[in-house]
Amino acid sequence: MSAANNATLVVEDLYTAYDKADVLEGVSLAAEAGRITCLLGSNGSGKTTLIRSILGLTRPNRGRIAFADAEITGLPPHKIVARGIACIPEGRKVFPKLTVEENLRLGAYQEASGQVVAERIEEAYEAFPQLRERRDQLAGTMSGGEQAMVSIGRGLMSAPKLLLIDEPSLGLAPLLVKQNFDIIRRINERGITVFLVEQNVRQTLEVAHYGYVLSKGRVVAGGRADELAATQEVHEAYFG
Amino acid sequence: MDVGLFGQYVMNGLMLGMMYALVAVGFTLFFGVLDVINFAHGDSLMVGAFTGLATYLGLRELGVVWPAVQVPVVLAAATAAMAVAGALIARYLVLPLKSAPALNTLLITLMLGTVLRESIRLFYPAGANPKPFPALLPAGAVELGNFSLRADNMLMLSAGLVVIVAVHLVINRTKLGLAIRAVAQDEETARTMGIDFTRIVLVTFAIGSALAAFAGIMNGLYYNEINFGIGLLLGVIGFSSAIIGGLGNIYGAIIGGFLFAALQTIGAVALPFASAYKDVFAFAVVILIMAIRPTGLLSEKVSERV
Ligand SMILES: Nc1ncnc2c1ncn2[C@@H]1O[C@H](COP(=O)(O)OP(=O)(O)O)[C@@H](O)[C@H]1O
Ligand SMILES: [Mg+2]
């Protein structure tokens, strides 16, 4: 099978803590290859902590993370990225004092071929023509919506098999939020597995194939997105 | 003041400024990638100078007496040795303390500096005494009125300039430099781009320490003498220069280095009493600058370094 069909992420019984108290308490879930899987949960439920654990930024205390049938638990981030995982982090996290193009270039840091990098930058400019006009502008001087484009473009620069997206609609105007979800759908249609963390329940479940609900560091519900929309847990996780 | 004397002062100021700038760039690079101050940096300069001297003596034993061979080999040995030393310092002393309070790093590098100084004093043959440093550069001079423009000084200034331009190009035009800047701005996001953080830190410490060794050789060639204590004052001055320039900003560090040398020179010329007070004068002005602009001349927000 092709690499994309192999790009399943599996998290098993994961415990992650920052200091002492566990933030994640036995999280198990899977993001199936070629699909959009979302993780819903209110503020502080541990969504970003899970992303950090997958990326190797915060080491889990227990449990395992596997991607494409290989264990990646405990690897440093650059080795995890080398497996074909990329992220669009919470709050975009563009490098403010680097230009738009330098930001994009960093997304393909592990790509050795300068020509491939140039082609991917070209693709990013085709997807976001505004970025081409502003290629030499410092990313920190751009609007929130433009920074979101830089962050998305940068996340695709490594041609990842799996893209982790953490609250992309946070802080965006409603119109841009809708565009963002369209972009996520298109990314997935290119064959990239997407693991999407969100608080925006309705639009997220519309775009996702599968979903999980995280509450206080535990998965309290999971299933097909259309079925999940009707369940009690989704509502409780937010309002309960 | 007559033109000849003025010329000497300017030349001396430029030579000192170049050395300070090279040391300051190291401080600012280390701070950029790791938010630490390496107080052993001045002593790395000193060990670099001694490595150069030992290499020279070794070459002489082997019968290699041609400056055209001696100069590059001495420079290469000193910078390579300190590059390795810098990477080792980062790997085994600084990185392990990454999550500890910054004061611990400060303390451990201060202690390392003392160990380096005392090791040279105790273990280098007759290391407690000043050592003559060979004049390896051409001795010629161009007489401009009563100012003699010395070839060796011009060579050193040019070489220093080339090194600074090279650092600029590496930082701004290469993939390595892009990674260094990314790590300086946002370590975690840089890591999620696939950058091997540890490797970038080690390489940055290697570059900074090699620059210090280069400055150490310049120091030896300029004064024709080195001793185990030269790193102390040069370290403090380099650190001050980096601070005046705005810690984390490479160009600020370079400007800071030349500014400090200018202050010393002005102090030496303008003060009516002994020029021994030039350092007091320069440091006093630095304190004044810090009082007016606490984050340095080219200050930037912490999140926007390098
Ligand atoms: N860097 C950190 N250090 C210590 N605690 C943290 C850190 N980041 C998050 N936390 C704590 O972990 C919990 C989960 O946070 P997070 O994973 O960011 O939640 P979410 O992304 O779902 O809003 C919160 O209680 C938060 O205070
Ligand atoms: Mg979050």
Q: Looking at residue A11, what DSSP letter applies?
A: E
DSSP conformation letters of A90-134: TT----TTSBHHHHHHHHTTT---HHHHHHHHHHHHHH-HHHHHT
Residues 6+ apart with CB under 8 A from A187: A152, A156, A163, A194
Residue length, chain B? 306
Q: Which atom of ligand 1 is nearest to the CA of A167?
A: 21
Q: Which two tokens stand for residue A43?
A: 């503020």
Residues whose beta carbons lie less than 5 angstroms from ion ligand 2: A 47-48, 90
Q: Is B245 helix (H, G, I), strand (E, B) or coil?
A: helix
Name the interface residues of B facing A (CB cutoff 8 Å).
Answer: 175, 178-179, 181-182, 185-186, 188-198, 300, 303-306
**Rounded Cα gap, residues B261 and B269, in angstroms:** 12
Domain ranges in chain B are 3-127+135-292
Q: Which atom of ligand 1 is nearest to the CA of A19?
A: 4
Give pLDDT tens digits for A57-116. Answer: 999 999 999 999 999 999 999 999 999 999 999 999 999 999 999 999 999 999 999 999
A-chain residues within 8 Å CB-CB of B178?
A: 98, 102, 105-106
Of B147, B144, B143, which Cα lies nearest the Cα of B5? B147
Say if CB B113 and CB B208 are below 8 A apart: no
Alpha-carbon separation of residue B251 from A66, B150, B266 (angstroms): 45, 28, 22
Please give the pLDDT value at position B301. Answer: 44
Q: Which two tokens stand for residue A225?
A: 């997105």
Ligand nearest to the CA of A89: 2
Q: Report chain A's C-alpha Rg in angstroms.
A: 17
- The helix-helix angle for B250-270 and B151-173 (nearest 10°) equals 150
Q: With a cut of 50, which residues of chain B have pLDDT below it?
A: 301-305
Domain ranges in chain A are 1-83+193-240
Give pLDDT tens digits for B183-201. Answer: 999 999 999 999 999 999 9
Say if CB B50 and CB B124 are below 8 A apart: yes
**Rounded Cα gap, residues B14 and B159, in angstroms:** 13
Say if CB B34 and CB B201 are below 8 A apart: yes
Please give the CATH topology (third level) of the domain spanning A1-83+193-240.
Answer: Rossmann fold (3.40.50)
CB contact under 8 A, A98 and B181: yes
Testing the interface with A: which of B189, B191, B195 to mutate, by most A Cβ within 10 A?
A: B189
Give pLDDT tens digits for B123-144. Answer: 999 999 999 999 999 988 888 8
Inform me whether the pLDDT recorded for A176 exceeds 80. yes
**Rounded Cα gap, residues A42 and A220, in angstroms:** 12
Taking the model in full, what pTM does it have? 0.93
Please give the CATH topology (third level) of the domain spanning B3-127+135-292.
Answer: ABC transporter involved in vitamin B12 uptake, BtuC (1.10.3470)
Give pLDDT tens digits for B201-248. Answer: 999 999 999 999 999 999 999 999 999 999 999 999 999 999 999 888
Q: Which two tokens stand for residue A134?
A: 């502003």
Please give the pLDDT value at position B304. Answer: 45
- On whether ipTM exceeds 0.85, the answer is yes
